[in-house]
C-alpha cells in the first residue's frame, strides 16, 4: 500500500489488545502508547530508508527515526551488511575487543570536550553515571537540572518544579522518595539568573549542572544567546562540573554536536542514539582528570556486562563513518531548511497559530504563537490542535512523534519526493489544527 492511502488499522488494534495482556500498559516505553493523541499505537512490521510499514500494510514517511538515532535511515545497507558479518563472530563477549577502541577513538576525535570516554548501554545509564562521577570528583551532592529537560529515568532526575527556582525538586513519579529527589534543584531553561540564585543559596554544595544544550524533550528549544556561556562561567567560578546531555544532539546537529555548534565546552558529555546506529548504546566522557576517577583506576564505580557490545559498536562505527564524509551535514541542513521553511509558509497561509523551531535536522512545530524559550512557554501549546494535526498527517501516510513535546528528525534517507509528499499533506493538517484554535 502506498504512503498516503487511508486504510484500517485492525491488526495494530488487535496486537495492542494482545500486548496489554502481557506487557505493562501494552508498550515498553510510555510515549508509544499514543496517550497524548488518543487512539491505538502503530505496530510496525518493517522499515526501509525513510519509510515504515505497519502490521496492516500501511506505509508511512517516518520523521521519528526511532527517536533520533536513524540519521542514515532504516536498514541502511552498509550497517546491515556489517552487522551480519559481526553477528557471525559473536553477539556479546563481556570482554574487551577492538571495535570498542575504534568507536571510542572516533568519539574523542569528534567531540572537543572529550579526552576519555566510557561506553554504556543507554542514554539513561550515561547520565546516571556522569552525575555519579561528578559527585565523586567534586565531593558534593546536589545537582541542578532544568524544567522540561529529560535526562532518562534515573530516580534523582524524575522531578518537577516546586514553587520557585530555589525550591527543592519534588518527585515526578511514584516510587521516588522525597529524600532521594531532594538533592535535585530546578531552574527554568534559558534562565541564567535562576541558576545564579541556586548557586548562591547552596554554596559549595552543587556537584554539577546538567543541561540539554538544545532542549529536545519539551519540543525543540535552542539556548538563548549567552545562556550556555553563562553556565560555563559560573561552573568555572564555583568548581561545579558542567554536564551536557547530548544524547539527542550528539552527531545530530553537527559532527561535534551542540558544543561544536555553539563553541561552549562542558566538563562531561553524555551521548547515545546515533553512536549506536539504531542499536542500544550510550557513552559519557570528558576531561581526563575527571574520567580518571572511574573504577578500576579511581573510586567511582560504574560497570555494565553488555557495555561495548560488538553489534552496537559495529553499527555505531558504520554510522559515524558515513557522517564524517564531506557534505553530509550540509545535505541534511538543506533538506531540513527547505521542509521547515515551506511548512512555516503553509501554516501562515492557513492562519494556524504556530511557532517553528529548527536546529540542523532537529525540528519542532509548536501550536502556539510563541516565542517558546522554556518549559512554561512550551506548555502553552494547544495540544488538542496538535492531536488533530497528528491524525491528519497520519491518515496521509506521514508519521511524526505522537506528542507535541517531542522532536522531529530528518534523515539522509528522506528523498525530495518524501518532502514534497509531506508538504502536500500539510495544508489539510494545519486546517484541521486551526479548527480548534480559532
Catalytic residues, which ones?
150, 245, 273
DSSP 22-66: HSGGGSSSGGGG-TTT-SPPP-EEEEEBTEEEETT--EEEESSGG
Place of cell 479548527: 435
DSSP H or E stretch at residue 375? helix 375-378
- Number of Cβ within a 10 Å radius of residue 107: 21
Locate 380 and state its grid cell. 502553552
DSSP H helical segments within 118-168, as ranges?
Answer: 123-138
Question: For residue 262, which of 278, 277, 242 has the smallest C-alpha distance?
Answer: 242
Q: Are β-strands 241-245 and 268-271 bridged in parallel, bridged antiparallel, or unpaired?
A: parallel
Name the burial class of residue 283, with classes exposed (0-12), middle (13-18) and buried (19+) by CB atoms within 10 angstroms of its CB.
Answer: buried
Locate 371 and state its grid cell. 516565542
Q: What torsion, rounded to 10 degrees, do the Cα atoms 106, 110, 113, 119 define?
A: -30
Question: For residue 201, which of 238, 256, 244 has the smallest C-alpha distance?
Answer: 238
Locate 121 and state its grid cell. 548501554
> Please, which residues bridge with residue 216 across strands?
none
Question: For residue 215, which of 330, 366, 348 has the smallest C-alpha distance?
Answer: 366
Question: For residue 434, which of 342, 349, 363 has the smallest C-alpha distance?
Answer: 349
The count of residues in the chain is 438
Amino acid at each position: 500500500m502506498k504512503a498516503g492511502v487511508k486504510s484500517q488499522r485492525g491488526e495494530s488494534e488487535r496486537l495492542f489488545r494482545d500486548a496489554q495482556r502481557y506487557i505493562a500498559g501494552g508498550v515498553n516505553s510510555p510515549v508509544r502508547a499514543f496517550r497524548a493523541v488518543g487512539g491505538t499505537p502503530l505496530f510496525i512490521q518493517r522499515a526501509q530508508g525513510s519509510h515504515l510499514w505497519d502490521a496492516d500494510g500501511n506505509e508511512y514517511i517516518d520523521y521519528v527515526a526511532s527517536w533520533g538515532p536513524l540519521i542514515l535511515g532504516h536498514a541502511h545497507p552498509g550497517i546491515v551488511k556489517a552487522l551480519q558479518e559481526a553477528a557471525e563472530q559473536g553477539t556479546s563477549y563481556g570482554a574487551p575487543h577492538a571495535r570498542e577502541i575504534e568507536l571510542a577513538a572516533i568519539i574523542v576525535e569528534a567531540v572537543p570536550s572529550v579526552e576519555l570516554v566510557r561506553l554504556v548501554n543507554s542514554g539513561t545509564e550515561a547520565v546516571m553515571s556522569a552525575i555519579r562521577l561528578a559527585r565523586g570528583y567534586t565531593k558534593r551532592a546536589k545537582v541542578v537540572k532544568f524544567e522540561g529537560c529529560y535526562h532518562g529515568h534515573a530516580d534523582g532526575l524524575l522531578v518537577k518544579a516546586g514553587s520557585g527556582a530555589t525550591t527543592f525538586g519534588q518527585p515526578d513519579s511514584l516510587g521516588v522518595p522525597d529524600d532521594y529527589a531532594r538533592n535535585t534543584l530546578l531552574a527554568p531553561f534559558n534562565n541564567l539568573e535562576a541558576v545564579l540564585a541556586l548557586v548562591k543559596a547552596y554554596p559549595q554544595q552543587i556537584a554539577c549542572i546538567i543541561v540539554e544544550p538544545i532542549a529536545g524533550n519539551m519540543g525543540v528549544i535552542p539556548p538563548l544567546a549567552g545562556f550556555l556561556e553563562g553556565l560555563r562561567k559560573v561552573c568555572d567560578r564555583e568548581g561545579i562540573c558542567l554536564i551536557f546531555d547530548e544524547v539527542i544532539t550528539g552527531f545530530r546537529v553537527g559532527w561535534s554536536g551542540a558544543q561544536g555548534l555553539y563553541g561552549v565546552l562542558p566538563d562531561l558529555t553524555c551521548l547515545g542514539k546515533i553512536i549506536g546506529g539504531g542499536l542500544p548504546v550510550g557513552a559519557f566522557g570528558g576531561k581526563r582528570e575527571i574520567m580518571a576517577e572511574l573504577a578500576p583506576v579511581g573510586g567511582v564505580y560504574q560497570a555494565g556486562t553488555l557495555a561495548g557490545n560488538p553489534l552496537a559498536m559495529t553499527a555505531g562505527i558504520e554510522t559515524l563513518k558515513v557522517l564524517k564524509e564531506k557534505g553530509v551535514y550540509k545535505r541534511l541542513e538543506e533538506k531540513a531548511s527547505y521542509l521547515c521553511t515551506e511548512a512555516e509558509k503553509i501554516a501562515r497561509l492557513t492562519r494556524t497559530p504556530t511557532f517553528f523551531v529548527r536546529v540542523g535536522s532537529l525540528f519542532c512545530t509548536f501550536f502556539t504563537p510563541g516565542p517558546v524559550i522554556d518549559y512554561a512557554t512550551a506548555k502553552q501549546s494547544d495540544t488538542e490542535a496538535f492531536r488533530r494535526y497528528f491524525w491528519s498527517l497520519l491518515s496521509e501516510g506521514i508519521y511524526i512523534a505522537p506528542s507535541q513535546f517531542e522532536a522531529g528528525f530528518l534523515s539522509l534517507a528522506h528523498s525530495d519526493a518524501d518532502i514534497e509528499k509531506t508538504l502536500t499533506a500539510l495544508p489539510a493538517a494545519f486546517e484541521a489544527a486551526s479548527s480548534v484554535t480559532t
